[in-house]
Amino acid sequence: MAAPEIEQLIQLLSKLPGLGPRSARRAALHLVKKKDILMTPLSQALVRVEHNVKNCSVCGNIDASDPCAICTDMRRDDSIICVVQDVADLWALERSATFKGRYHVLGGTLSALDGIGPEDLKIDTLVGRASNQAVKEVILATSATVDGQTTAHYIADCLADCNVKISGLAHGVPVGGELDYLDDGTLSAALSARRVME
């Protein structure tokens, strides 16, 4: 219907998460209309990311340099590694600006349904890093889902011989959350992990 160039752009845009065929069409039209201020910069930005961004061979983060900026930052603590499923989780933790150690990106979770086994995740390299004398603690910050927790337990077993402290994120009431809207599992976790007010 539209020119094949545009149809192809729509088809590719519709593969992005959060965009369906209809919103991809709207986005493509918006791009054509804002050629100079949006389409050209976007195509240049894509080429730049394509050529410059790579996976960090140490932690699995994505960055313009390998090892990445977090792995090479001298101010960060070498003794503690935070294990996350995905780069998005690493970014979320970085936004919270609480953690000052190193990261390790697994690249997913174990999942029998999706056929993802331990060999598909970067567990070997994690065990290698954790075996280093300098590492004192590994935080397993996988999601609080069944797959995430299964993965955390599996990794805890793998690290058993590494002489590191293994910890997980606390469960409880989200900051700003109302009790009424919370599920039973979270409430019961928050109740059993209750703390003394000072």
Residues lying near its own copies in the complex (CB under 8 A) are found at 1-6, 8-9, 12-13, 15-19, 23, 25-32, 34-35, 38-43, 45-50, 52-53, 62-65, 69, 86-88, 91, 94-95
Across 121-160, b (16+ Cβ under 10 Å) vs e yields: bbbeebeebbeeeebeebbbbbbeeebbeebbebbeeebe
- Cβ-based nearer residue to its own copies, 95 or 194: 95
Tokens of 47: 């080429």
Contact 106, 85 (CB under 8 A): yes
Q: What's the min distance (Å) between Cβ of 108 and its own copies?
A: 11
- Cβ-based nearer residue to its own copies, 31 or 159: 31
- Cβ-based nearer residue to its own copies, 76 or 136: 76
Q: What's the min distance (Å) between Cβ of 56 and its own copies?
A: 11
- Cβ-based nearer residue to its own copies, 21 or 128: 21
Contact 81, 103 (CB under 8 A): yes
Q: What's the min distance (Å) between Cβ of 94 and its own copies?
A: 5
Contact 79, 101 (CB under 8 A): yes
